[in-house]
Structure 1
Amino acid sequence: MQNYHKYGNRPFILFLVTLICLVLPACNTVAGILTEKLNAELKKRIELEMFRQGLVCQGELICGTSLIPDYYIHREYKPVWVNDTGLSADAAMLVTSLESSTDDGLRAEDYHLTRIEQLINELRQIHDQGEIDTAEAVSMWIDLEVLFTDALLLYGSHLLGGRVNPETLHPDWILAGDSIDLMNILRTVVLSGPSITIFDRVRPPHGGYTGLTALLSEYHRIAVDGGWPVVAMGPSLRKDEQDPRISQLRRRLTISGDLMNSGESLQPDVFDETLESAVIRFQGRHGLNADGIAGEKTLSALNLSVEDRIRQIELNLERWRWLPHDLGERYILVNTADFRLKVVENNHTTLDMRVVVGKPARQTPVFSSRLSYMVVNPYWTVPTTIAVNDILPKIKKDPEYLTKNRFRVFDGWQQDAQELTPELVDWTTLGKRYFPLRFRQDPGAMNALGRIKFMFPNKFAVYLHDTPHRTLFNETIRGFSSGCIRTEKPLDLAAYLMSGNAGWTREKLAEAIEKGSQRNIHLPAPILIHLLYMTAWIAEDGIPQFRDDIYGRDRLLEKALRQRVTRSPFSPRSNPDDPSFELQGVFPQRQKVGGAAVE
């Protein structure tokens, strides 16, 4: 498959020829002298601790400043990428991989590639002048050695944990990445074979990641071919209508693969049944109301350029790199941006349902946990923020609101707090600055949590639950909650989770609900749950999916990714507020920050 990216347009074949031909004379005496000088120069730099002070090599910031010295000390100061014959085969392979980094949605210029190419050409000129072992040449060889090693470490770290630390962008984004000692892998691979295989070991293994990289390549091809046409805005387009814009719509959907085997229509400006099916397909994979009518929202989605979609794919590849490599053989996945929950077993979806997620002002967080029990007929203890912002205004409008909706009032959060009579509370004295009371809603049909809630430990007080507001599942955009996830089919989910316990069939669960009393039910086997935020992905049927950025997180991530790496992601002195990843040789789990109480 061809690569359609910045470096793909360069005369790369000539560059590789230059790289391979940059060899030293075969004279063992000269080569041996140069080897000694290279080793000595590398040792001198390390002993001077230039790396540990934030080294800038050939105008490029060296990010592996805390790792490179230890690595070369372990190697007794023997270079990896340069040897008696010039550049090693591994060096050529590394350049190939760095050129291909855009296939992962990364930027090749972050990995010193431009300066490496320039330095190789300069060394070639020095070689042609017969000045291969001068102090200047030796220094340049070591510069090249250091740039290669740092490029490998930096690219490997970005593949493993992402280029941006998500917690610096979103305090409610808590995902523990994999912990791998990249330096140990480098030592092992360099000794046993081509060091370039390190990238295959740290690249996300998920099919979702691989699928997005393939889509990225396809969209790069479309961009090179000129992209897709804009469909002029105007009145809605629908079946059986005739309009000059319909030919634009037809071409647009053909290029994106939504209108297939269309051939040359006898009436290209007529909205026929085949075109209607293509519009429905497009709407379905963009989270729009699939009515087959090209209205304002559909036209707006159609007119996002291929470059916009390429960037959206790149952002979500970065999100995949934040995830653990092992999501589990069996897990629950909630994609907030898609408003859906899926249960996955052995890479296949066994249960799928719509969900309601947090509104933009009260966003559902991103984290992984383990669901271990559920509660039928739960009480709802109302978080203070919801009590003050949502319920208190309703009480002031309707003094009987609490009684009508089966809420009880307590004079504090202590276990022995006294229950109060709502009619005797002076609600006018309470507000955001002073609200010592606690609300609790009794189980029942009106309970905000419905009849079942599913519990998994997290600092946000977020969980899955039923809801009495069933009509909201008919909405296309379902961001209505205060952060928790309302499930469309709670009994189906409960029955699935209890399938390993013969005593808790679907009928038994329904009987327990009908009794009306709260009861905790522990799962026969806990299950991993991942709450994610993906605005582009490949569905299980292979169809590309895009969704609106309901929380504005794409914009923040794009801004962070546009920044050049300006400090070491490996350095223990990295700024904790910098979006660069702090790795320090071993990739630690990210620290949990932030917190909220939500419904």
Structure 2
Amino acid sequence: MRKLNVWFLLLVVITSFSIVSCKNKNKQLTPEEIIASIKDKFKGADTIPIDRSIDSTTAYNTLFLDSADVKQFMLDNPEVEPFVSDMIAFYRTRNFQYAWFDSTGMIEQASNFINVLNNNEALHKDSTLRDKKLFTMFEKMKNIDVDSTKRSEKNVLEAELRLTGQFFKFAQSTYEGKIDAEKLGWFIPKKKVDINVLFDSTVKAKNLNAEKLFMNPIYGKLQEQLIRYKKFKEEPWDSVTISKGKQLTPADSTSILLVKRRLSLFGDYTGNVDNVYDSAFTQAVKSYQKRYGLNETGVPDKAFVRSVNTPVDSILKKLVINLERAKWMPVDMAPTYAWVNIPEFKLNVYENKNKVFDMNVVVGSQANNTVIFTDIMEYVVFAPYWGVPASIVKKEILPAMQRNGNYLARNDMEITGNSGGIPTIRQKPGPKNSLGLVKFLFPNAYDIYFHDTPSKWAFNRSNRDLSHGCIRLEQPAKFAQWVLRYNPQKYSAAYIDSMMHKNTKETHIKINKEYQFPVYLVYFTSWVADDGRLMMRDDIYNHDKEMEAKLFI
């Protein structure tokens, strides 16, 4: 019968979980507004039916709350205001039957839940979720009996309601994230959690791995790295220095020893930890450079030394920031999708949950950030026109036209109209077109798409944040062939090549519905690669900096 208690608890959480964060998560209310809000929510709860079938003769539990006591608790404890509607709805659907106590005292689920909270706090070094009074009460009450003469005692009622409020707060923070993602420019819909399974796994679990069941795999992999890197705080972390010139040389024996020791911790170096500048050292440097998105030269230059001197605390902060982002991701990705991690400057293509290929990309510059969102790939457009955005016309094209009256003709551009005193300009299909020879549309509110480019030089750079916001592909023909793979006879490699290089008329091909797939444009500055290695990238848009200000106060 104890499971019935769990079932009711979950029923309400699952219906209201997403509403809580959207409406209340970051709204700052005055004390007077909080009290008024609690009263309004209590009135509004009258529309939620009370399950009258639950009474002293049918309930598994003989302990019942008085709704007036519930209301008074909420007025006395305004910190529960964000969860008032959910808590009231929860108790009304169980006719105000206790959830965490029965006639024998505090039930096992309550102790398990407190253990999960303690474990979560120890791992993340974050006590902001802790209801200090609840934890004090828990220690005093966990072993007492609650018979019929004690069921109305204020401390039992308060512990019951504090446990329920703490569960809502924990669920929201842990499985949705502490930050309003959209306020930080993240427009990928938040994942939905099966709270029924969540309760069973989180509250009943004896270990920390329960969270992983409700997160995108990115989360679990990053959490493992967080645990691993926390141990490095116990290691010496002396600064690596270059004695002369622009890179470490065999003469820098002390620094070489430090680097080998550090790269050994990271997993880039597996040889003897000595001060010898050898081929194994060069390969380890190259491995580290690859993980950090540096030029893979194997040369321990200034950029390498600056990076390898990053304090452990800074690395840990970066991991925590990206763990928070992982909470915003869908739990289960579609089996087939395209994935661009903006700071990585790469497109990764997955089919049946396996990566089939990747390629370099160019993303939006710091002044023209690529938006973080997801949508469905629907069209391939060969020989595209480029409708020059009004902002580019105003800032770049018009000044160029003033400097050179032949600018439009020289760049295969034409004026097609006028809007608000600014000419409407488009660039004709062809090799000069800024979109190259093909573009790929996943229609969205941000007017962002994939496209070819005549500027191939950019793909050889390590930092490729150069565009006006759209994604330039290094191998557009390869991507087109994969997108249209469902009809290889019609859309052969020869056909695609012809459409890209011989065609002068803009041609739209709609992808068959069953072969359309989601495109994810995401922003992770740390993640774990398919080979299990931790990857790190620069915070090109300062999104980490914004999150740090909110997470580490």
State the AA in 2 paired with 1:230: S
| Deviation (angstroms), 1:498 | 0.8
Query: Are the aligned partners of 2:175 and 2:215 in contact in 1 as well (CA < 8 Å)?
Result: no
| Deviation (angstroms), 1:207 | 2.5
Query: Are the aligned partners of 2:178 and 2:324 in contact in 1 as well (CA < 8 Å)?
Result: yes
**Matched ranges for 1:480-519 at <5 A:** 480-501=466-487, 502-513=489-500, 514-519=502-507
Matched residues in 2 for 1:545 and 1:527: separation?
A: 26
- The 1:104–1:341 alpha-carbon spacing in structure 2 relative to 1, beyond 3 Å, is farther
Aligned equivalent of 1:167? 182
Task: Structure 1 unaligned segments of length 5 or more: list them.
Answer: 1-34, 414-433, 564-599
Matched residues in 2 for 1:150 and 1:111: separation?
A: 11
State the AA in 1 paired with 2:178: R
2:73 maps to 1:56: no
Matched residues in 1 for 2:371 and 2:124: separation?
A: 25
CA offsets, 1:17-42, max 9 Å, x none?
xxxxxxxxxxxxxxxxxx97x634x5
From 412, 417, 427, the equivalent of 2:418 is 412
**Matched ranges for 1:367-516 at <5 A:** 367-412=373-418, 435-501=421-487, 502-513=489-500, 514-516=502-504
Question: Percent same amino acid at aligned positions?
Answer: 26
Aligned equivalent of 1:237? 247
| Partner SS, residue 109 of structure 1 | coil
Task: Structure 2 unaligned segments of length 5 or more: list them.
Answer: 1-60
What TM-score does the superposition give when structure 1 sets the normalisation length? 0.75
Aligned equivalent of 1:138? 153
From 535, 540, 555, the equivalent of 2:530 is 540
2:53 maps to 1:44: no
| Deviation (angstroms), 1:200 | 4.5
| Deviation (angstroms), 1:204 | 3.6
Matched residues in 2 for 1:313 and 1:290: separation?
A: 23
Query: Are the aligned partners of 2:325 and 2:524 in contact in 1 as well (CA < 8 Å)?
Result: yes
| Deviation (angstroms), 1:547 | 0.4
Aligned equivalent of 1:211? 221
Matched residues in 1 for 2:206 and 2:161: separation?
A: 16
CA offsets, 1:478-524, max 9 Å, x none?
01000000000000000001111121011111112222221111223
What TM-score does the superposition give when structure 2 sets the normalisation length? 0.81
CA offsets, 1:298-324, max 9 Å, x none?
112111111111111111111111122
State the AA in 2 paired with 1:521: I
| Partner SS, residue 349 of structure 2 | strand
| Deviation (angstroms), 1:253 | 1.4
Decide which moves more: 203-212 or 159-168: 203-212
From 104, 110, 123, the equivalent of 1:91 is 110
State the AA in 2 paired with 1:153: F
Matched residues in 2 for 1:104 and 1:489: separation?
A: 43
CA RMSD, Structure 1 to Structure 2 (Å):
3.0
**Matched ranges for 1:41-440 at <5 A:** 42-46=66-70, 48=71, 50-51=73-74, 56=77, 61=80, 63-102=82-121, 105=124, 107-112=126-131, 114-123=132-141, 138-170=153-185, 173-179=186-192, 182=195, 194=204, 200=210, 203-223=213-233, 225-226=234-235, 228-232=237-241, 235-238=245-248, 240-260=250-270, 262-265=271-274, 268=275, 270-412=276-418, 435-440=421-426
Aligned equivalent of 2:48? none
Matched residues in 1 for 2:148 and 2:133: separation?
A: 19
- The 1:213–1:227 alpha-carbon spacing in structure 2 relative to 1, beyond 3 Å, is farther
| Partner SS, residue 83 of structure 2 | coil
Work out the number of aligned pairs and report it: 487
Query: Are the aligned partners of 1:63 and 1:150 in contact in 2 as well (CA < 8 Å)?
Result: no
- Higher relative CO (Cα under 8 Å, sequence separation at least 6) belongs to 1
- The 1:242–1:315 alpha-carbon spacing in structure 2 relative to 1, beyond 3 Å, is closer
| Deviation (angstroms), 1:96 | 1.8
CA offsets, 1:144-193, max 9 Å, x none?
222221222222223332221111222xx2111234575x778x969xx9
| Deviation (angstroms), 1:91 | 1.2
| Deviation (angstroms), 1:325 | 1.9
| Partner SS, residue 374 of structure 1 | strand
Matched residues in 1 for 2:208 and 2:290: separation?
A: 39
Query: Are the aligned partners of 2:452 and 2:472 in contact in 1 as well (CA < 8 Å)?
Result: yes
- The 1:277–1:115 alpha-carbon spacing in structure 2 relative to 1, beyond 3 Å, is farther
- The 1:227–1:243 alpha-carbon spacing in structure 2 relative to 1, beyond 3 Å, is closer
| Deviation (angstroms), 1:439 | 0.8
Matched residues in 2 for 1:500 and 1:103: separation?
A: 50
- The 1:345–1:379 alpha-carbon spacing in structure 2 relative to 1, beyond 3 Å, is same
Query: Are the aligned partners of 2:376 and 2:519 in contact in 1 as well (CA < 8 Å)?
Result: yes
